[in-house]
Structure 1
Amino acid sequence: MKKSKSRLLGKVSPAKPKQDFSLRQEAFVEYLRTECHLAENTVAAYQRDIHRFHEWLGSRNLVTLTISELSDFVGYLNSRELAPASIARTVVGLKMYFRYLQLEGVLLDNKVELLGSQKLWQRVPEVLSPKDVERFLNAPKRYEIYYFRDRALLELLYATGCRASELSDLRLRDLHLDERFCKVQGKGSKQRMVPLGDAAIDAVEQYLKRLRPQLAAHRPDEADWLLLTRSGRRLRREAIWELVKKYALEADVDVSISPHTLRHSFATHLLAGGADLRQVQEMLGHASIATTQIYTHVDQSRLKKVHNQFHPRA
């Protein structure tokens, strides 16, 4: 770190336009893992974003990029019809990348800092109505081979508000069904405890009793994961996304939904029921309550309820 700072204090020669940044990208990824201690999924996402940036960069000289050109990159992301959240994350990753290049003495100025903040691309998340959630959770049919696993998966998604990656990483030792909660490993390796309701507990118990032993027998070395594939391996987050899409189609609900839609619905329905914002923040594992506050804009009925209850002239 001292070496990097000394470079910044001294004179730094601008990098050559044809400089190969492939090694810089690899070093940046290692920096995210070892210095920033980011979760592996976050590192992978930033790695994809930086690769996308360099694809757009082409023959342009990274060192001499102007704020106008960087704004064109954001326009390029929009033209590829990326979700606002993905654009926002890409900008955050790009800022971290340029800061790293500054520390390494490659850049003197970090013009990416002048790009608009994440809030410019923030949007209100879509949620399912309680009726749609009920229909979705009942989509798996008993005659299906993996009915008990898929029912447990869907119930857990809605009952806990977990991300797909968090459910994929759930182990048997993380379940505490008698105490009615599970322990979740969130972003940045932060752990949190999430309560479980009757429906989720029943679905998980049925899965553990009726199907999981057969699946685990295929791969005893992976038997500590909760959700398993037909070959006994850990059910990866990509497969969880596919299963959500499958049952959304079968339940005749919005097929554009994802595991994150269940997470949004979990938070919104809790607030609609009168839950405290701080409690929802804790259950979602948000580092900042500002992230959780977006759900107050989703559920207008809650605001009306608060107004009717507490305003003297409501």
Structure 2
Amino acid sequence: MADIAQSQSEIAKKINQFLEYLQVERGSSPLTIRDYKHYLVRFANWMDAEGIRMELKDINADVVRSFRAYLTGLPGEGKSQMTRRTQGYHVIALRSFLKWLIKNDYQVLSPEKIELPKVEERQVKFLSGEQVDRLLNAPTLSTIQGKRDKAMLEVLFSTGLRVSELVKLDRDKIDLDRREFGIVGKGGKARVVFLSQRATDWLVKYLNERNDHFKPMFIHHKGNPEPTTPDEKMRLTVRSVQRMVKKYSHKMKLPIEVTPHVMRHSFATDLLMAGADIRSVQEMLGHKNISTTQIYTHVTNKQLREVHEAFHGRGGKD
């Protein structure tokens, strides 16, 4: 997609200023900034291609409506049509851009006049307790790679970490005695993360096998790296962890495609099914908004499940 960095139009300049605001003042992650740039550049390029003047006052309800119609005709990733959810991301980015403009005293279309598209309710994939146990027991423990993988799987299920958070862990930042550590997650949100005793034990076993001084908690074990090798060259990548989880999922013939994020879902589901309150789970997951955590409640509300079993599960018997 074309870059608007060199464009002298009013809209292009303001988009670049908005992206700078996200980075400097909001502390948004590079991925968030990349996505917002992608969606807003697509909007600006569409306006230019349609011959619409690239000025803020020209963003009106009719223009937005036409842009949304244009999105419905675009192909999606591996699909014949862009999903409503992806269309929604474009609208969210545009609304955020307009809110920022209004905050900076520009007279533009009110973002409240742009409705978000209705999307299908997201289905949460998670593992049952028995499936989690099978996955956690999948690694071969006779090798250091197996012990590392076992420790990673235990940490993922014990903490609900995002995979991007997991790979950033450093040895000296984890208090194994207190079984906790601090982390700065999505959107710069800080939280305390707690380890189970089992996850802690496996981290200790893995670290006891290592005879290096590299800073990352999880490293690759290929060849014989020099002691002077930079720490970041040894750190596992997000992709390598995703491949590892997928490998063990296939090995154990689990019924769903397991990813690190499915393990995060499983962590949250396990807590809620055990009776944890949703606000505590929100804090542990590092969700900014409670609405994000509420996607789990339709499958985990223990009280409703018990009411259903008590009153509806009788099969119509008197």
Give your verdict on TM over 0.5: yes
Instruction: Please name the residue that 2:313 is paired with.
Output: none
* Aligned counterparts of 1:245 and 1:83: Cα–Cα separation in 2: 25
Q: Aligned ranges for residues 96-245 of structure 1 at < 5 Å?
A: 96-100=96-100, 108-110=108-110, 113-116=113-116, 120-143=119-142, 146-211=145-210, 213-214=211-212, 216=213, 223-230=214-221, 232-233=231-232, 234-245=235-246
Match for 1:124: what amino acid? Q
* Aligned counterparts of 1:51 and 1:196: Cα–Cα separation in 2: 42
Instruction: Tell me if the contact between 1:296 and 1:303 (Cα under 8 Å) persists in the aligned partners.
Output: no
TM-superposed CA distance for 1:178, in Å, is 1.1
* Aligned counterparts of 1:172 and 1:88: Cα–Cα separation in 2: 40
Instruction: Please name the residue that 1:14 is paired with.
Output: none
TM-superposed CA distance for 1:26, in Å, is 3.8
* Aligned counterparts of 1:77 and 1:144: Cα–Cα separation in 2: 48
* Aligned counterparts of 1:253 and 1:102: Cα–Cα separation in 2: 50
* Aligned counterparts of 1:73 and 1:171: Cα–Cα separation in 2: 46
Q: Deviations over 1:116-148 (max 9, x none)?
A: 26x635413221222222222222223555212
Instruction: Tell me if the contact between 2:176 and 2:200 (Cα under 8 Å) persists in the aligned partners.
Output: yes
TM-score in terms of structure 1 length: 0.75
TM-score in terms of structure 2 length: 0.74
Matched residue count: 287
Instruction: Please name the residue that 1:91 is paired with.
Output: 91
Q: Deviations over 1:225-258 (max 9, x none)?
A: 3222346533232332232223222222256332
* Aligned counterparts of 1:84 and 1:31: Cα–Cα separation in 2: 28
Equivalent residue of 1:256, what SS? coil
Equivalent residue of 2:191, what SS? strand
Structure ranking higher in helix proportion:
1
Instruction: Tell me if the contact between 2:124 and 2:265 (Cα under 8 Å) persists in the aligned partners.
Output: yes
Equivalent residue of 2:119, what SS? helix
C-alpha spacing 1:170/1:126, structure 2 compared with 1 (3 Å):
same
Instruction: Tell me if the contact between 2:268 and 2:296 (Cα under 8 Å) persists in the aligned partners.
Output: yes
Match for 1:228: what amino acid? I
Instruction: Tell me if the contact between 2:39 and 2:90 (Cα under 8 Å) persists in the aligned partners.
Output: yes
* Percent identity of paired positions between Structure 1 and Structure 2: 32
Instruction: Tell me if the contact between 1:166 and 1:186 (Cα under 8 Å) persists in the aligned partners.
Output: yes
Equivalent residue of 2:49, what SS? coil
Unmatched tracts of structure 1, length 5 or more? 1-16, 217-222, 310-314
Q: CA RMSD in A?
A: 3.5
Instruction: Please name the residue that 1:275 is paired with.
Output: 276
